[in-house]
Amino acid sequence: MKYLYIVFLCFSSIGFSQIPSSYYDSANGLSGFTLKTELKNIITNSHIDQGYNTLFTGYVSTHSDNIIEAGYENDDTILLYYTENPNGIDSYTYNHGSPNQCGSYVDEGSCYNHESLVPQGAFSSAFPMKSDIHHITPSDGFVNDKRGDLPFGIVGNANWTSLNGTKRGISATPGYTGVVFEPIDEFKGDIARAILYFVTRYEDTVDGYTSFPMFNGTENQALSNWSLTMLLDWHYNIDPVDQREIDRNIAAYNYQGNANPFVDHPEYANMIWIDTQAPTNPINLAASNPTDNSIDLTWLPSTDNIAVIGYDVYIDSIYAFTTANTTTTINGLTPATNYCFTIKAKDAANNQSNFSDQVCDTTTDAGIGNTNCLIENFENIGVSSATYKTISWNGSDGGNWIATDARNDQTLNTKAITIRNGALTLPTTFGGIGSLTITTKLILSGTSGTFNLKVNGNIVGTIPYSDLEQTFTIPNINIENNAAIVIDGNSTATNSVKIDDLNYTCYSALGIDDFSVNHINTYPNPVNNQLIISLKNKRTTTIEIFDILGKRVFNTIIDKTTSLNLHDLKTGVYMIKMTQNNATITKKLLKQ
């Protein structure tokens, strides 16, 4: 194996003798994407494009095996990432010069050509990307063809392996499930730093290179989360910078006038992509509009050096949920109960602000309103796409939603799902359904129409839509226990309809003794360990708790105010069913 070095500015004069000591001065003191942009300015301003045809000449200084180190031949043959054997004799070698340049190939060892570590198709073979020697490297032609335009990753099941162990196959990389190409460990850091260089040098255009799965369509982060995590691991842990790569970087600087900053300063990667700065604290938190079961919260947005991605909401000092908005409605509360709220802001690196100031409010006790069994605002439907396809996501309550013949590039109140000739399948809940409320609007062209609302396979109502935004409630559905809900049957299959702010109440069957929400309180909700059931009418009551799939996980009978120990329940969403004689109330319960 090659000898590894820890690389900082304190490298010997050999490492920096041909790169000016002041080269990165203007980046001093910067961090985050501000640092990335300044590095882009530095390496762009000094970059002199030498053209595509001169790359073979450039490889003589940048990619030669002249390494005095065990495992390398030190014979000035071409150093190829995908085929070099750093632990023994190479299976084949190429000399620099036209006789070995591709041409045609039928197997490994036929000829060598140019390999674009970021595929040319991603940037439409444009210059200077196509001729940038920092990421355009020599490669065996046959192996280059095997890689094609695949992203780099960790291979789980290989369907092809080169003579030096480079693999292609189904990904075992966390966060990506497609086919990937995996170099040997010896060169993973070289490739990682080349890609970090690319997204920095071409920051102004990389947001358009979305055909390459390693990119996320932005100029700042540029890399998808899974690839960023992997590349930083390769950069720092698997294959840190060594003297061979330092020498290569100097040669590249002499060839085209700019250097790879992540070779000269490995620490820059963490300074750019590993955010350690917390957002500012949320301010002006206010509680308002209390009902029997809900309270509204609003606050002013926090700021961050990169971006705030969400706000954690705490109820009585217990974490309840996260929202991307600066307004939210707390549902599922108990009537005539005082609740106190605080908020924390967080960014993509999970840096959290301190708590906001606390505000408190008390729910009403008017004896009206049922607890919502499900609320969905479609904030988690993923990256915007105008293509009609099947889309799945975890909803606001954590259940799995599926939309077919759908797109997610439209907004209504905030994000929305748009259905054409498909279906919206909601997560099944145990609490039954009382009434359903939904907001719709027709987009593009077409006339007014309807969707069917199905519960457990039966049509229980129709949902209207038109070119005007409308919020519609289907009351008195009143189906107990499991509620498998599907919205489908568009009356005009070519109409595209936005759907937002969908919610439905739990089933509540009141008996002649008027057992209702003003006779029973459950608190706190969310609950940690002890759930208090307060019975005002002191009648025998069966208490059952069901998980989101309908499995009963707790059962008891009480006849007075009682504290239930729920320590053994896992964190998640449950339904609590309370029955007196033939009367039943079902509420949603959040377990922390």
How confident is the model over 384-422, as pLDDT tens digits? 888 899 998 888 766 779 999 999 999 888 899 999 999
432: preceding bond cis by omega (within 30 degrees): no
Cα 355 from Cα 304, distance rounded (Å): 15
Tens of pLDDT, residues 206-243 = 999 999 999 999 999 999 989 998 999 999 889 999 99
Is the pLDDT confidence value at 97 over 90?
A: no
Residues β-bridged to residue 572 = 591
First to last CA, the chain: 49
Q: Confidence band (pLDDT; 50, 70, 90) for 133?
A: very high
User: Does the pLDDT of residue 335 top 80, yes or no?
Assistant: no
Omega before 99 within 30 of 0, i.e. cis: no
Domain ranges of the chain: 25-273, 283-362, 375-505, 520-591
- C-alpha–C-alpha distance, residues 371 and 575, integer Å: 11
The gap from C-alpha 46 to its chain's centroid, in whole angstroms, comes to 35
Contacts of 395 (CB under 8 A, 6+ apart): 374, 376, 380, 401, 427
Q: What is the pLDDT of residue 2?
A: 39
Q: Strand order of the sheet with strand 327-330?
A: 283-288, 295-300, 327-330
What's residue 10's pLDDT? 34
Q: Do domains 283-362 and 375-505 have the same CATH topology?
A: no
For 154-177, give the secondary structure using H, E and C: CEEEEEEECCCCCEEEEECCCCCC
Which residues lie below 8 Å from residue 306, measured CB to CB, with a gap of 6+? 32, 33, 220, 275, 277, 347, 348, 349
375-505: CATH number:
2.60.120.260
Give residue for tokens 């049922």. Answer: 370
Residue 9 has pLDDT above 60, yes or no: no
Model confidence pLDDT, tens digit, residues 170-192? 999 988 999 999 999 999 999 99
> pLDDT tier at 541 (50, 70, 90 boundaries)?
confident
Q: pLDDT (tens digit, 9 = 90+) per residue, 311-331?
A: 998 888 878 777 888 888 886
**Contact status, residue 555 vs residue 544, Cβ threshold 8 Å:** yes
Contact by Cβ (8 Å): 395, 425: no
Give the per-residue pLDDT at 478. 84
276 has pLDDT over 80: no
- Predicted pLDDT at 506: 81
DSSP annotation of 358 reads P
Closest Cα partner for 187 from 123, 242, 131? 242
Q: Are 544 and 577 in contact (CB under 8 A)?
A: yes
Q: Is the pTM of this model over 0.75?
A: no
Question: CB-based contacts of 489: which residues, under 8 Å, 6+ apart?
Answer: 450, 451, 452, 459
CB-neighbour burial class of residue 497 (10 A; exposed 0-12, middle 13-18, buried 19+): buried
Q: pLDDT tens digit string along 340-386?
A: 999 999 876 678 999 999 999 988 776 554 467 788 989 888 888 88
Burial of 141 (0-12, 13-18, 19+ CB in 10 A): buried
Q: What is the pLDDT of residue 42?
A: 98
511 confidence band (pLDDT: 50, 70, 90) = very low
Largest CA distance in the chain: 96
283-362 CATH pick, 2.40.270.10, 2.60.40.10, 3.40.47.10, 3.40.50.300: 2.60.40.10
State the pLDDT at residue 67: 79
- Topology of domain 520-591 in CATH is Immunoglobulin-like (2.60.40)
**Residue 586 above 80 pLDDT?**
no
Q: What is the mean pLDDT of residues 111-123?
A: 95
Q: Please give the mean pLDDT across all residues of the chain.
A: 86
**CB neighbours (10 Å) of residue 202?**
23
* Whether the predicted pLDDT of 51 surpasses 80: yes
Predicted confidence at residue 211, as pLDDT, reads: 94
Instruction: Enter the tokens of residue 546.
Output: 């069901």
